[in-house]
Amino acid sequence: MIFERKKMNRRQLVQFFTGLGLIAGLSAAPVSAVFAQDKPIKIGATGGPHAQILEVVKKVAAKDGLTIQIVEFSDYIQPNAALAAGDLDANSYQHLPYLEAQIKDRGYKLVNVGYTITFPMGVYSKKIKSLKDLKTGARVGVPNDPTNGGRALLLLQAQGVLKLKADAGLKATPLDIVDNPKKLKIVEIDAAQLPRSLDDLDAAAINGNYAESAGLDPTKDGIAIEAAKGPYANVIAVRAADKDKPWVAKLVKAYHSPEVKQYVVDQFKSSVIPAW
């Protein structure tokens, strides 16, 4: 059937599609759903809070005609690689310094399009109740990627455990330690494996999402926790070529909705903080 293209209001659209018999009870559904994209937007996330929050985002976005498929990963490396390769449309799992480091180191053409949440990093232990109880030569685990490793060392410095070079910055490494009075052995381990390594370590600095997934609460189980306000807010990343596409704006709008914020506050309390 050929018909003249013209602007229609919601009532006219409902009458048009109802007349064609395409959808029963269309008048009760948002018209935007009729024009949802042909295939779902694939969003990568690490398992745990990131994926859980995206389930709520998915429901909110559906009201605006945006269909989302969540793809879970168990590490920090693959979500950016998959996004850069075109296997994902977006990801939501990393803080901005990590994204910037990946872009610089791997040449990814990815951009931040919106802030999501902050997971305060904490130090955990099964052997001591305070960092003051660390013995000489104690083994302390930190993430083995540059940005999260630096974050852990800055946390240890803030707790007075060690001292870094003045210009070490967010990407500090064990080589930047200039004062280590207890001669601590800094053990670099994949971030996702740190909770499982607590039995073999005296303490470990663990990212909030992996701590949460392991049943650790930074406010209850952590023997030290970083300040709530800092540079480590997580972000939504997309390919630079896609940043101005309509679905990106819909995704960010859904994530920044009151429904999602309320879910984060109710579900995770102080262990996860909305960053928008």
- Between 273 and 1, the more confident residue is 273
Q: Which of 21-35, 119-133, 135-149 has the lowest mean pLDDT?
A: 21-35
**In which band, very low, low, confident or very high, does the pLDDT at 35 lie, cut at 50, 70 and 90?**
very low
- What confidence score (pLDDT) does residue 25 get? 40
Which CATH number covers residue 205?
Answer: 3.40.190.10
- What confidence score (pLDDT) does residue 9 get? 54
Regarding whether 44 and 25 lie in a shared domain, the answer is no
Regarding whether 79 and 211 lie in a shared domain, the answer is no
Regarding whether 237 and 102 lie in a shared domain, the answer is yes
Beta carbons of 171 and 101 less than 8 angstroms apart: yes
3-state SS assignment for residue 83: helix
Our count of domains for the chain comes to 3
Q: Is the pLDDT of residue 252 over 80?
A: yes
99-108 long-range contacts, Cβ below 8 Å, gap at least 24? Answer: 99/235, 99/237, 101/145, 101/146, 101/147, 101/171, 106/80, 106/81, 108/80, 108/83, 108/84
Regarding whether 217 and 161 lie in a shared domain, the answer is yes
Hey, what are 57's tokens? 């985002």
Query: What is the extent of the structural domain holding 95?
Result: 37-119+232-274
77's CB contacts (< 8 A; 6+ apart) are: none
Regarding whether 198 and 136 lie in a shared domain, the answer is yes
Regarding whether 85 and 62 lie in a shared domain, the answer is yes
**In which band, very low, low, confident or very high, does the pLDDT at 156 lie, cut at 50, 70 and 90?**
very high
Regarding whether 128 and 114 lie in a shared domain, the answer is no
26-61 as b/e: b if 16+ CB within 10 A: beeeebeeeebeeeebbbbbbebbbbbbbebbbebb
Regarding whether 31 and 44 lie in a shared domain, the answer is no
Regarding whether 258 and 136 lie in a shared domain, the answer is no
Mean of the per-residue pLDDT values of the chain: 88
Regarding whether 138 and 109 lie in a shared domain, the answer is no
Regarding whether 55 and 187 lie in a shared domain, the answer is no
Regarding whether 61 and 14 lie in a shared domain, the answer is no
Q: Which helix H or strand E contains 69, and what residues bound it?
A: strand 68-73
